[in-house]
Amino acid sequence: MKNGTCWLDDEGRFIQAHGGMIARFDGLWYWYGENKDADNVVEGGVVRGRVPFRGVSCYKSRDLHSWHFEGLALAPVQEAGHPLSPERIVERPKVLRCPATGQYVMWFHADRSDYTLAHAGLAVADRPQGPFRFERLALPNRRDCRDMTLFEDPLTGRAFLVHSGDWNKTLYFSELTDDYRGFTGVCHAQMVSQEREAPVVFVREGVYHCLTSGCTGWTPNTALLATARTLAGGLMKLVCDPMEGPGARRTFGAQATWSFEHDGQRYLLLDHWQRETLRTSGYSILPVRFDGDEMSVCWQDEF
Ligand code: DGJ
């Protein structure tokens, strides 16, 4: 697959799974993401940076290269004012299988078209491909939620909704309850006043790694890595931009959305947003390298 371009599924159609994630359940890979298969909204002759909500897609693969469309994991609701109606925003959906209940739990950024609602949305399914049943919108610990991800902490067994809050000023790690459908009240504030978004979190050798982008809408900017040995509030320190080589300063024209491991190799999944034709936004999967504890990501033409 050629990095930076639109990728095709096994039926030759553009993969529509933006702002997404790749998970492994029972030996199969699942890719969830925003289905942006519509023209951008035009208002007063101006092309807006959004499309009507078309659902959250689910693709399945045995090898991470050939992807089969499993349908909409979360479908839009044709009812004005509903959080899943076409005029709403649903971004960055992420899915975990809850060990306590066996259910598949999806959290996503739910918003109005002007991004002033900034809630987290919750949907639940019994199978990885869905259909996911919408449960509710939430303000985690009374904080707003814009860009977000889910993080299962292998060191403690706890799961977190990691979300940009305080109008993107702070990155919150809001701990999920045992059923992954609510919040315990434990909440760690990180990167205070740093204005970071698009969080990607993983643990390597006992160290929490948190990669974020700056807040420049759909325009690529500089990624930054923060690390810590504990999630305790405020202890995560910005370290460096781990991107290397030509184009690194603007994250190779992309924005990260997820990281996963396969056969001992860690990868980064990125979106190449096309602001005026969001449906044509491309993808990259780049290997993450470590030299000692120093992380780097270099461009590669192919995945
Ligand atoms: C950047 C975010 O990372 C995207 O998910 C989306 O919210 C855009 N901003 C909207 O401008």
Dihedral angle of Cα 129, 15, 209, 142, to the nearest 10 degrees: -60
Kindly report the CATH number assigned to the domain that includes residue 169: 2.115.10.20
Query: Is residue 19 lining ligand 1, measured as CB closer than 6 Å?
Result: yes
Q: Is residue 186 part of a domain?
A: yes
Q: Which residues are paired to 164 by β-bridges? A: 171
| pLDDT by position in tens, the chain (length 303) | 999 999 999 999 999 999 999 999 999 999 999 999 999 999 999 999 999 999 999 999 999 999 999 999 999 999 999 999 999 999 999 999 999 999 999 999 999 999 999 999 999 999 999 999 999 999 999 999 999 999 999 999 999 999 999 999 999 999 999 999 999 999 999 999 999 999 999 999 999 999 999 999 999 999 999 999 999 988 999 999 999 999 999 999 999 999 999 999 999 999 999 999 999 999 999 999 999 999 999 999 999
Whole-number Cα distances in Å, 177 to 15, 46, 48, 105, 165: 33, 43, 37, 12, 20
Range of the domain at 211: 18-298
Rounded to an integer, what distance in angstroms lies between the CA atom of residue 175 and that of residue 181?
10
Q: Is residue 9 part of a domain?
A: no
Residue corresponding to tokens 């948190």: 210
Rounded to an integer, what distance in angstroms lies between the CA atom of residue 223 and that of residue 36?
24
Greatest alpha-carbon span in the chain: 54
> DSSP 3-state assignment of 142?
helix
In this structure, the number of other CB atoms found within 10 A of the CB of residue 274 comes to 16
Q: Is residue 262 part of a domain?
A: yes
Q: Is residue 6 part of a domain?
A: no
Of the candidates 177, 180, 144, the residue with the CA atom closest to the CA atom of residue 163: 144
> DSSP 3-state assignment of 164?
strand
Q: Is residue 213 part of a domain?
A: yes
Q: Positive or negative CA dihedral for 25, 28, 29, 32? A: negative
Q: Which residues are paired to 156 by β-bridges? A: none
Query: Is residue 91 lining ligand 1, measured as CB closer than 6 Å?
Result: yes
Q: Are 149 and 199 in contact (CB under 8 A)?
A: yes
Query: Is residue 94 lining ligand 1, measured as CB closer than 6 Å?
Result: no
Q: Is residue 267 part of a domain?
A: yes
* Ligand 1 atom index nearest CA of 19: 5
This prediction's pTM: 0.98
Q: What's the 101 CA to ligand 1 centre distance in angstroms? A: 32
Residue type, 30: Y
State the total domains in the chain.
Answer: 1
Query: Is residue 255 lining ligand 1, measured as CB closer than 6 Å?
Result: yes
Q: Is residue 130 part of a domain?
A: yes
Q: Is residue 5 part of a domain?
A: no
